[in-house]
Structure 1
Amino acid sequence: MAEPLRDRARRATGWRLRPNGDPRPHFVVCGNDPLAYWVVRLLLATGTPTGRPRVTLVVPERRRSDGPDGRDLDGVQVVLADRLDEATFRRAGLAGADGLALLHQDDVGNMHAALCAREVEPRLRLVVRMFNTSLANGVRQLFPDSAVLSDASMAAPAFVAAALGELAPTHFRHGGRTLYMARRADVRPADVLCGLAVTTDPELIRVLPADEESADVVLAEATGQPPGTEVAARRLVRARRRREPVLVLVRAVRSFATRKIGVAVLVLLGVIAVLGWLNSRAAGVTWSEALYLTLVTTLSGQDPDVHKPVAAQVMQVVLNLAGLALIPLITAAVVDGIVNARLALHTGRIQPDRTGHVVVVGLGNIGTRVMAQLCDFGVEVVAIDKNPDARGASLAHRLGVPLIIGDAALEETLRSASVATCQALVVVSTDDGTNLRAALNARSLDPDLRVVLRLFDGDFAERIQQAFGIGISRSVSYLAAPAFVAALLDRAVIATIPVDRHALLVTEVPVLAGAPLDGRPLAAVARPGEVRLLAHTRAGQKTDWSVDPRMVIHAGDRLTVVARRAGLSALLRETTPVPAEPAGPPLPRRAEE
Structure 2
Amino acid sequence: MITTSSAVPHDTPRSRHMVICGDDGLARRLAVELDAVCGETVTVVLPSRHHEHGGEIDALHQDPSSGIELFVAARPDEQALRAAGVEQAVALALTYGDDQTNMMAALLARSINPSVRLVIRMYHRERGRHLEQLLDRAVLARRNRPNASPHDAPPFDLPLDTSTTVLSDADTAVPELVAAAALGHGHTLQVAGKVFRGVVRPAGTPPHTADLATLAVFSGADRHDPRSEDSAETPGDGGTQLLPDTVTAYNSQFTHGRLMLEEVTADRTLEAPSASRGIGGWLRERLTHLPWKVFVSREMTSVFGVLAAVVALLSLATYAAVDGIPLWKAVYLPLLDIFTMGDPATGEPRARKFLQLIAGFTGIAILPLVVAATINATGAFRAASINHLPADGLRDHIVLVGLGKVGTRVLVRLRSAHHRVVAVERDPQARGVAVARELGVPLILEDATGPRALELARIGQSASLLVLTSDDSANLDIVMAAREANSDVRAVMRLYDDDFAATVSLTLRASYPDAVTRSRSVSALASPAFAAAMMGRHVVGVMPVERGVLLFTTVDVAGHPALEGFSVHEAFARNEWRVLAVGAAVSGTPVASPSDTLGGQDLSDRSGFDWRPPHGRVLRAGDRVVLATTRRGLDILTRGAPTAPDAA
Same fold (TM over 0.5): yes
1:173 maps to: 191
1:483-537 Cα distance to aligned partner (Å, 9 max, x none): 1122222211232122112111122334564847766776664333233343556
CA distance change for structure 1 residues 252 and 552 in 2, over 3 Å: closer, same or farther? closer
Per the alignment, do residues 543 and 372 of structure 1 end up closer, same or farther by CA in structure 2, a change over 3 Å counting?
Answer: closer
Name the counterpart of 1:456: 496
Match of 1:202 in 2: 226
Which of 353, 365, 378 aligns to 2:405? It is 365
| Partner SS, residue 227 of structure 2 | coil
In the alignment, which residue of structure 2 is the partner of 1:160?
A: 178
Match of 1:59 among 43, 46, 50: 46
Instruction: Report the 3-state secondary structure (helix = DSSP H, G, I; strand = E; otherwise coil) of the residue aligned with 1:354.
Output: coil
**What is the CA–CA distance in structure 2 between the aligned matches of 1:531 and 1:569, rounded to whole Å?**
11
Aligned partner of residue 30 in structure 2, secondary structure:
helix
Residue 161 to residue 316, structure 1, CA distance change in 2 (3 Å):
same
For the residue of structure 1 that corresponds to 2:213, the secondary structure is strand
For residue 118 of structure 1, the aligned residue among 99, 106, 110 is 110
Residue equivalent to 1:495: 541
Distance, in Å, in 2 between the alignment partners of 1:467 and 1:165 is 22
On the 8 A contact 1:111/1:139 being kept in 2, the answer is yes
Deviation digits for residues 76-105 of structure 1 (CA, Å, limit 9, x no counterpart): 212223322222222322222222212122
Partner of 1:81: 73
How far apart, CA to CA, are the structure 1 residues paired with 2:54 and 2:474?
14
Identify unmatched segments of 5+ residues in structure 1.
Answer: 1-21, 226-247, 578-593
Cross-structure match for 1:102: 94
Q: 2:457 matched to which residue of 1? A: 417
* 8 Å contact from structure 1 (residues 408, 414) kept in 2: yes
Looking at structure 1, the residues matched to 419 and 33 of structure 2 have their Cα atoms a distance apart, in angstroms, of 36
- SS state at 1:341 partner: helix
Distance in 2 between the 1:54 and 1:383 partners? 43
Structure 1 residues 250, 531: closer, same or farther in 2, change over 3 A?
closer
- Report the residue type matching 1:104 in the other structure: Y
Classify the secondary structure of the residue corresponding to 1:414.
helix
Q: 1:44 aligns with which of 35, 52, 60?
A: 35
* Partner Cα separation in structure 1 for residue 82 and residue 450 of structure 2: 48
Secondary structure of the 1:386 match is: coil
* C-alpha contact (below 8 Å) 1:45/1:566 kept by paired residues: no
Give the corresponding residue for 2:346.
305
Deviation at 1:421, TM superposition (A): 0.8
1:343 counterpart residue number? 383
Identify the residue that residue 233 of structure 1 maps to in structure 2: none
Backbone CA RMSD of aligned residues = 4.3
Alpha-carbon deviation of 1:292? 7.1
Query: Which stretch shows the higher mean deviation, 385-394 or 480-489?
Result: 480-489
Structure 2, unmatched stretches of 5+, are: 1-12, 61-65, 137-162, 229-239, 267-287, 510-515, 587-606, 644-648
**CA positional deviation for 1:400:** 0.8
How far does residue 112 in structure 1 lie from its aligned partner after superposition?
2.6
The 8 Å contact of residues 256 and 340 in structure 1, kept in 2 or not, is answered as no
Conserved 8 A contact 2:390-2:457: no
- Structure 1 pair 111/326, CA: closer, same or farther in 2 (3 Å)? farther
Q: Give the corresponding residue for 1:182.
A: 199
- The 1-side partners of 2:550 and 2:393 are apart by 40
Report if the CA contact (8 A) 2:49-2:55 is conserved: no
Give the drift of 1:428.
1.2
**Which moved further from structure 2: 497-506 or 299-308?**
299-308
Structure-2 change in CA distance of 1:110 and 1:409 (3 Å): same
Q: Deviations over 1:422-464 (max 9, x none)?
A: 1211111111111111111111111111112222233332332
Q: In structure 2, do the counterparts of structure 1 residues 67 and 352 end up closer, same or farther at CA, with 3 Å as the change threshold?
A: farther
Other-structure match for 2:5: none
Query: 1: distance between equivalents of 2:451 and 2:418?
Result: 27
Q: How does 1:262-341 map to 2 (within 5 A)?
A: 294-299=334-339, 300-305=341-346, 316=356, 320=360, 323=363, 330=370, 334=374, 337-341=377-381
Distance 1:363 1:63, change over 3 A: farther
The answer to whether the 8 A contact 1:396-1:403 is kept is: yes
Task: Tell me, in whole angstroms, the C-alpha distance in 2 between the residues paired with 1:328 and 1:526.
Answer: 83
Supply the AA of the counterpart residue of 2:199. Answer: A
2:199–2:262 CA contact under 8 A, matched in 1: no
In 2, Cα distance between the equivalents of 1:110 and 1:257?
A: 53
1:570 aligns with 2:614: no
Equivalent pair of 2:525/2:549 in contact (CA under 8 Å): yes
1:13-32 CA deviation, whole Å, 9 max, x = no partner?
A: xxxxxxxxx97222221222
Whether the 8 Å contact between 2:390 and 2:422 is mirrored in structure 1 is: no
State which drifts further: 529-538 or 455-464: 529-538
The alpha carbon displacement at 1:71 in A equals: 3.8
Equivalences for residues 248-259 of structure 1 within 5 A = 252-254=292-294
Alignment of 1:398-477 (within 5 A): 398-469=438-509, 470-477=516-523
1:318/1:79 CA distance change after superposition, 3 Å: farther
Give a deviation string over 1:344-390, Cα, whole Å, max 9, x none: 03313585342122111100122111111121122221100110111
Alpha carbons of structure 1 residues 360 and 129: separation in structure 2 relative to 1, 3 Å: same
Measure the CA separation in 1 of the matches of 2:49 and 2:36. 27
**Aligned CA distance change for structure 1 residues 127 and 517 (closer, same or farther; 3 Å):** closer
Q: CA separation of 1:173/1:117 partners in 2, compared to 1, >3 Å: closer, same or farther?
A: closer
- Once the two structures are superposed, residues 197-218 of structure 1 have per-residue CA deviations (whole angstroms, 9 ceiling, x without a partner) of 1222432322223412126434
Q: Which residue of 1 aligns with 2:532?
A: 486
- The AA in structure 1 aligned to 2:29 is W
Which SS does the other structure have where 1:193 is aligned? Answer: strand
Closer, same or farther: CA 122–257 of 1 in aligned 2, 3 Å: farther
What letter matches 1:570 in structure 2? I
The letter of the residue matching 1:33 is D
- Superimposed CA distance per residue, residues 236-283 of structure 1 (whole angstroms, 9 cap, x where no aligned partner): xxxxxxxxxxxx999855478999xx79x959979x969x99x989x9
Please give the alpha-carbon distance, in whole angstroms, between the structure 2 residues aligned to 1:573 and 1:118.
Answer: 24
1:16-50 per-position Cα deviation (integer Å, ceiling 9, x unaligned): xxxxxx97222221222222222222111344xxx
In the alignment, is the contact (CA less than 8 A) between 1:29 and 1:55 conserved in 2? Answer: yes
TM-score, normalised by the number of residues in structure 2: 0.69
Indicate which of 411, 416, 419 corresponds to 1:379: 419
Rounded Cα–Cα distance in structure 1 between residues aligned with 2:290 and 2:532: 57
Correspondences of 1:28-39 after superposition (within 5 Å): 28-39=19-30
Identity within the alignment, %: 33
Radius of gyration: which is bigger?
A: 1
Deviations 1:164-211 (A, max 9, x none): 21253333334x865432234778544433211122243232222341
**Amino acid of the structure 2 residue aligned with 1:107:** D
Change (3 A) 1:170 1:284: closer
Secondary structure of the 1:411 match is: coil
Residue 149 of structure 2 is matched in structure 1 by none
C-alpha change, 1:268 and 1:323, in structure 2 (3 Å) is farther
Q: 2:249 aligns with which of 212, 216, 220?
A: 212
Counterpart CA distance in 1 for 2:457 and 2:55 is: 32
